[in-house]
Structure 1
């Protein structure tokens, strides 16, 4: 027969520790005169379960006046014994890139807020009340601090509703819902849904120089458009072409030789068999007409 294996500690400690060692290490110091209270499973001899101890501490907390040293100690004990609840909530976010200890620290803030707001007289168990507060604090942390791109708070809050509606509609229809279906479900404009879907994906900024596997290894920078300086000349070229066709053939040929063939006035005069002075006067007159935009008339 093989010996029974010790149960792993709830707080992620050394697997070699026994359950008694884990309980002794996790047990909080208490304000009741003894250094520690042993925690264990309900019904175990000499032990008090976390729920019972939490209830007792809250009862004691309600009896103490504010700002007294004993009240501070009771509050600290409540925080310490409920840290496993924070760690349980933090495991829901283990797939995120943030370190787990950072998430636990943020969740602890939610635990402290829950302790300060909890009212034992309502008959609700503290873990039931505290877990949504802890999860809300962690989600708020991811919403406000983890994004590398700024998204308006209104869209961040709306994204929670849209994502919930998407899950519900996916189960209902057996497929991903369309934007009009989400908008009808939430009774909001379709434009808000589209903006919210874009905002919900804006957690991380992609590097322009990072290679994209699905694009054959090309970086985003290689596929981005750029401003072509020649585009500004397209309209001008079209206007010049429109004016050139209205010139007589000899004047049009002079313009072509001067500005497209890059010939000098001397070379044009030789080409056309006229004096250089005549070529100069024709060029001046032609350019004046072209600049004015008037049609050429014989």
Structure 2
């Protein structure tokens, strides 16, 4: 299957967390079987050549399903990050796909971390690197430090089992929290801790209607100002608006906008959990 065919099948076969976990284990078993089959790994096993070949094929199919299921995440990051940038969308999508492929190969399902949480910074880093050549609005050194922060964010996400905060990254890099906050706060895409909401906005095949229903209901229950902030931040019903621009429009600080985002997201998480329990 070529790249164009992969793209055309993006999002096919939406997977549950349990299904993804099993597929990652199958993919891992396939890679081990392939190493044994080719003599790159010597282990004590009574598996026949046919059994190893079957594991390899199952692992290949598992990888393909994981790729197709998570490709909408990569495409959305590429789309959100590339807005108003002089970079071809095809280039950004390919860069995002490289990040997704790297995340698929490096992810450890045994740590209990959600794959989308781990993949988010990996994909974003590759897209940011693609943008570096076409973005003259910031010095190269500045863009490189932003990529360095992205790389540490990806590593710490796996180590901590959660999205790291500014203080976590600052401690790891040995720099001031303000230095990290400045490099994370200027990026145009959506923060990693909110990746769960983007998943709810992605096409889900037969499951699209109930997810759209709870999201609409959750938005309806938000106070008007919080609803406006969420809509603007995630581009619901229109184009996403950077936080600093939204703060200027509302006449409040960036920090105040962020606080209201967090309150709104917490309410939506509660509503999402209630929706899952009822369904």
Is the shorter-chain TM-score for this pair beyond 0.5, marking a shared fold? no
Structure with the larger helix share: 2
Task: Say which structure, 1 or 2, has more relative contact order (CA 8 Å, 6+ apart).
Answer: 2
What TM-score, normalized to structure 2?
Answer: 0.38
Q: Which one has a bigger Cα radius of gyration? A: 1
